[in-house]
Amino acid sequence: MQRIINIKPGEWALALSLIFILATNTLVFEVAEVVATTGFVSNVGTPQIILLWLVSLPITLAVAAVYSLIVDRVKRRWLMSVIMLLFAALYLAALGIFVADAPDEVKFPFLYLLTELQYAVFPLAFWALASDLYTTSQTKRLFPILATGGAIGSILGNGMAAALTEILPEGQSDAPQVLMTGAVVFLLGFLLLRGSIGRQEIRARQSTRETTIKKSFIEGWEVVRDVPMFRWLMVAMFAVGLGFLIIEFHFLYSLDQAANESDNSADFFQAFYGIYKALLIGGTLIFQSVISSRYLEKTGLKNSFMVLPFAMIGGLLVIGVYSTAVGVGLGRLIMRVFQRGWDEPSRKSALALVPDERRGRVSTIMENYFYTVASILGSLIVGVLLLLSEQFDVITRDQATIGYLSVVGVGAMVAIYATYKIRGVYEESLLNWRLSRSRRKSVLDGIEF
């Protein structure tokens, strides 16, 4: 079994518990995100989703700032417990809004914002806790395997979202069932966290210094700024985040156009979107299990970041050749598989180099701030081009599409350059004093026997 799944004896109980928590969280997120996106696009409109993003992204940024304030000052196992209880309460609140039959302009944006918060906060807390539970050398071997929990949850969640369109009577909302499932899943995850994982030893140290959001940001930013590898990785992540937001909009727009040609656009949109995402995650699961877990470590951390920008170029070429919803979906699939199956585990391993007492703040900046600000910029670019084409008739809709897809191409080229620079500064970065660990930790902690 170890030859197939690289988990050593004595590691199974903890690994399976973490995989289960990540899988169930992702299941809830995926099915809720499909329902929220479908409901918003079908009842409010695709162009208006740009306004939703411009509202929700700053909120998630503010929540991430508060998270960064406390993540390194409290026990991360306790923090995960609080987060799980909080999301269980929020899903119950969303259930109340839907049961009360609030206007579409209220209930679907609320559910969408809830999924955005879940996407922004939960992975940060989960991987920070996982980094505390494992040594640096273990993270390179086990993190790609743990990440398959997210892939499994995504397949089940998106499959459930697609199946609900066939199970429920036509016209009946599936949101109440989804929201109740979310509340129950988070409560079960909380019990597991306080049970089996609660008995695991954690050697990580917490910061004891009083701080503010500004100081917390500065302390995390100083690590990113002063470690050359992280500085160039920041540039690459910003460029990639900008491109992914634009591709996401173009995919939703193409799918909405295809759905409008069907008999039941809402059910078509949700079924297609759910099945598509399930196939995407299925590909990611295979990629992580077969490719990432075997070749990521052999490639070397300094070389691994170059893969995603080239995958973005490949996906963009597919979108340029095939402009249908299927073609755009295929191009997006290529980008997302490499992002989730290869690039995310690489970034988790890179962040594991940061000392325990600063890792949470650094990961929040790297994994949330950069992507969120890039996404806001991408929303503004798409929004301006849509205004010029649909409101002021300065350019055509096709010219607007070419314009924002060109931005994706430029972003990918910038990311290629930045990741190439990482290769030259990698060894220098490892010697940077900001990555030095406390002498109170055993020198044997990072060695596997």
* Mean pLDDT (whole number) for 107-131: 89
> Is residue 441 included in any domain, yes or no?
no
C-alpha span between 89 and 107 (Å, rounded):
16
pLDDT grade for 4, boundaries at 50, 70 and 90? low
> Is residue 440 included in any domain, yes or no?
no
Query: Percent of the chain, pLDDT > 70?
Result: 90
Task: For residue 346, give the CATH number of its domain.
Answer: 1.20.1250.20
> Is residue 445 included in any domain, yes or no?
no
pLDDT grade for 441, boundaries at 50, 70 and 90? very low
> Is residue 327 included in any domain, yes or no?
yes
Mark out the alpha helices in 48-103 (DSSP H runs): 49-70, 76-99
Q: Count up the domains in the chain and report the number.
A: 1
> Is residue 5 included in any domain, yes or no?
no
* Token representation of residue 138: 């273990």
Query: Percent of the chain, pLDDT > 90?
Result: 32
> Is residue 57 included in any domain, yes or no?
yes
Q: Which of 68, 75, 88 has the alpha carbon at shortest distance from 28?
A: 88
* Token representation of residue 290: 């077969």
pLDDT at 206 over 90: no
Cβ within 8 Å of residue 54, ≥6 positions away: 376, 379, 380, 383
pLDDT at 380 over 70: yes
C-alpha span between 255 and 233 (Å, rounded):
32
pLDDT at 447 over 60: no
Q: What is the pLDDT of residue 205?
A: 54
> Of the given ranges (190-199, 332-341, 371-380), which has the lowest mean pLDDT?
190-199
| pTM for this predicted structure | 0.78
**Residues 120, 368 contacting (CB under 8 angstroms):** yes
Query: Which residue range is the domain that position 54 belongs to?
Result: 14-202+210-434
pLDDT at 126 over 60: yes
* Mean pLDDT (whole number) for 291-307: 82
> Is residue 198 included in any domain, yes or no?
yes
> Is residue 449 included in any domain, yes or no?
no
